[in-house]
Amino acid sequence: MNAEPDWLVEATTHSDVGQLARSHAWEDTPLGPPSGWPHALRHAVRLCFSTRFPVMLVWGPELTLIYNDAYRDMLGTDKHPSALGAPVREVWAEIWDDIGPLFDSVLTTGQATWSQDMPLLMHRSGFDEETYFTFSYSPLRDDEGNIAGVLDIATETTHEVVNQRRLVTIGELQAALPTTFTTLRAFAEPLVDVLAGSADVARAAFYDVSAARPRPLVHTGVAPDAAEVAAVVRGAATGQREVGDGLVVKPLRDTSRRGIVGVMVLRAATGRPWDDDYARFLTGLATTTGAALRDAVRLRTTLDTLRQRAERSEEETAQARELALVLQQAVMTEPPQPDDLEVAVHYQPAALDRDIGGDWYDAFMTPGGATTLVIGDVVGHDLTAAATMGQLRGLVRAIGFDSDHPPARLLERVDAAIDGLALGHQAVATAVVARIEQSPDERARGVRTVRWSSAGHLPPILVRADGAVEVLTVRNDLPLGLRPGAHRHDHTVELCTDDTLVLYTDGLVERRDHSLRDDIAALAEALHGTHQATLDDVIRTALVRMLPSDGEDDVALVALRTGPQRPATTPAAAAPKTTTAAVAS
C-alpha cells in the first residue's frame, strides 16, 4: 500500500472514520490511490471530515462511498466499516428503490434534491427498521466541471417523527375513552379501533378472565402466542402489570380494587427497537386505559344512581347534590408522594345543586422524577363543563407524563390536541401547570425551582418559610382552546426549605361587586403567617377566611410544601405523608 498522502492525513486527523480512510485500500476501488485523486474530490473529502454534521459523498462510475463520523451512526451496527469505499448501491441495497432515483436525478440534471422526514425501511442493525431522514443530495463536479459524484448532508428524524406519532395516538385514545359503558366489550371496542391504526401497536387485545381460561373479547393485529396467554393468566391471578420484551400486560380492576374485570394486552411493532421510550409509551396507554375504565365504572354507577334519584320525589334533592359531587370527583385522583415534598389537594362543590362546575386539580410525577401540579377551570357550570374538564385533565396528564415537556410546551401541545381532536368551542379553560425541578447544584444548595406557565389563570401564591407571602403575578397567556399555535411562556421562582406553593381556582376569590385584585390580595393576607401550620390547615385557613358561608362556585386547591433536603449520600427515608385537606362542615 502507498504511503498516506499529506492532504489526506491533514483532512482526517481528528476523525475516527478518517483514520480508517487513511488505511483503506483505495487502489482496489475505482477511485484509485488518494495521491491521484482530483482536486475537486480532495476538496469534497476535506469538507466531509471537517464537519460534525452527518455527511457522506459518492464519486466515480460505481458511486464509491466516503463518510464521516456523524454519518457512521446512521449505518447502524452492521454496515460500518464495510461501507467505506463500497458502491453506495450495495451499501443501501434494501432502500435503493427509494433513493436510487434521487441519485440518478442529481447526476443527470445537476439539480439538488430535498427530502423531509422521508420514510426508509433499513436493514442496518440486524432487523428491518422503520427510519425517517431529512436530507439533500447535491452534485459534485470534477476538475473539468463535469458531474462526477453526489454530496449528501443528512439528519435522522426518526425519534421526532415516532414521538409525534405516539403523541397523536395518546390524544386519539384519550378522546375515544368511553365515559360510560355496559360491558367490557363495549368499553374496549372504540379503543381497539384507535390502536389498530397505530404503527407502534402490533397487537391490542382485551381478555375476559371471568372463566378458568382467558378469552379474548376484542383484539386486533397479530395472533396471540403462548407467552401472551401465560402472562394474561398470571395477570388475572396476581393483579400485577407485566412489562416484557415488546409486551405489556395490564390487569383492569374495578372501582373496589378487589376484583379484576379483564386484562389488556399491548404488543410492540417490529419496526422499532424495544427500548425505555417504547416501554413507557405502551405502559402509558395501558395505565390510561385502566384508569379510564375505573372512572367510567364510577361515572356509570353515579349516573345510574342519579337517574334513579331523579325519578323519585324532590325530597331527595340533597342526595342528588352529593351524587353530583361524586361525578365531579370521579377524575380527582390522590396526589403522588415525592421525596422531600408534601402535597395536599382539596375540591369543594358550589352551594347550588345545578352549578356542577369544571374546576379540577391534578398532581403527578413525570418519568424523569419531576413533580407536576395542575389547577384548571373549564368555562361553564353544567354537566358539559364537567365532562369537558375530564377530557382536558386527561390530555394534560397524558401529554405531560409521556413527553416530560416544560409547562409552556405542555400547554401548547394541549392546545394542539384540542384543535386536532375537534373538542369544540366548549373546550375553553384557564389553567396553571407548575413543575418542581432541581438541578444538582440546587440540590447541593437545598433549593428547588418551580417552573410554571399560566393559561389565563389566577396567579400562584408562595408562602415563604418565614411567613412572608408573594403573589406570583405574571403576564398571562391566553386560556386553553382559544387560539391553536399560540406561543406560551414559562416562568420560574426558587423554592427553599419549608416554602409553600398554593394554586387555586376563582371560586375561592371571585365575588360579585368585588375587585378580583383586591380579593387575591385578601387571600394573600389570609395566608400570611401560615408557614408553621400544616398543609391541611393552610387550605382550611384559606377556605374559612375567603368563604365564610357556602361558596357561589366550586373550588379546587393544590398546596405543596418543600421539606428538608435529604443528603444525596444517605439512604432514602420513607416518603413524607401526602394529605388531602378537608373542611369541617
Q: Please spell the DSSP secondary structure of 396-414, one letter per residue.
A: HHHHHHHH---HHHHHHHH
Q: What is the pLDDT of residues 541-574, one digit of tens each?
A: 999 999 876 667 789 999 999 988 766 544 443 3
Inform me whether the pLDDT recorded for 195 exceeds 60.
yes
d(CA 421, CA 397): 16
Task: Provide the pLDDT for residue 490.
Answer: 96
d(CA 341, CA 318): 38
Residues 6+ apart with CB under 8 A from 262: 184, 188, 206, 207, 208, 209, 217, 251, 252
CATH class of the domain at 6-156:
alpha beta
d(CA 576, CA 563): 8
d(CA 199, CA 162): 9
d(CA 59, CA 66): 8
Cα-Cα-Cα-Cα dihedral of 32, 38, 40, 42, to 10°? 60
Residue 79: band (very low, low, confident or very high) from pLDDT cuts 50, 70, 90? very high
What's the DSSP call for residue 498? T
Domain ranges of the chain: 6-156, 160-311
First vs last C-alpha separation in the chain: 92
Q: Is the peptide bond before 119 cis (omega within 30 degrees of 0)?
A: no
| Closest-CA residue to 452 (of 496, 400, 499) | 400
Strands 429-437 and 469-471: unpaired
d(CA 380, CA 580): 26
Residue 212: band (very low, low, confident or very high) from pLDDT cuts 50, 70, 90? confident
Strands 491-495 and 469-471: unpaired
Helix axes 317-329, 383-403, angle to 10 degrees: 20
Q: b/e per residue, 245-260, with b = 16+ CB within 10 A?
A: ebbbbbbbbebeeeeb
Q: What is the pLDDT of residues 401-444, one digit of tens each?
A: 888 899 999 999 999 999 999 988 888 999 999 999 998 999 88
- CA angle 207/255/352 to nearest 5° reads 135
User: Would the pTM of this model clear 0.85, i.e. be above it?
Assistant: no
Q: Which CATH architecture has domain 160-311?
A: 2-Layer Sandwich (3.30)
DSSP symbols for 85-96:
TSBHHHHTGGGH
Residue 577: band (very low, low, confident or very high) from pLDDT cuts 50, 70, 90? very low
| Closest-CA residue to 380 (of 396, 362, 361, 357) | 357
- The x, y and z cell numbers of residue 481, run together, are 382552546
| Candidate from 348-362, 365-379, 383-397 with smallest mean pLDDT | 348-362
Inform me whether the pLDDT recorded for 451 exceeds 90.
yes
Tabulate helix, strand, coil % of the chain (nearest 5).
40, 25, 35
d(CA 37, CA 31): 7
d(CA 352, CA 373): 28
Task: Provide the pLDDT for residue 323.
Answer: 47
DSSP symbols for 42-85:
HHHHHHHHH-SS-EEEEETTTTEEEE-HHHHGGGTTTSTTTTTT
d(CA 544, CA 526): 9
Inform me whether the pLDDT recorded for 369 exceeds 90.
no
- In this chain, the answer to whether the domains covering 6-156 and 160-311 adopt an identical fold is yes
Inform me whether the pLDDT recorded for 512 exceeds 80.
no
d(CA 325, CA 342): 26
Distance of CA 159 to the CA centre of its chain: 13
Task: Provide the pLDDT for residue 351.
Answer: 64
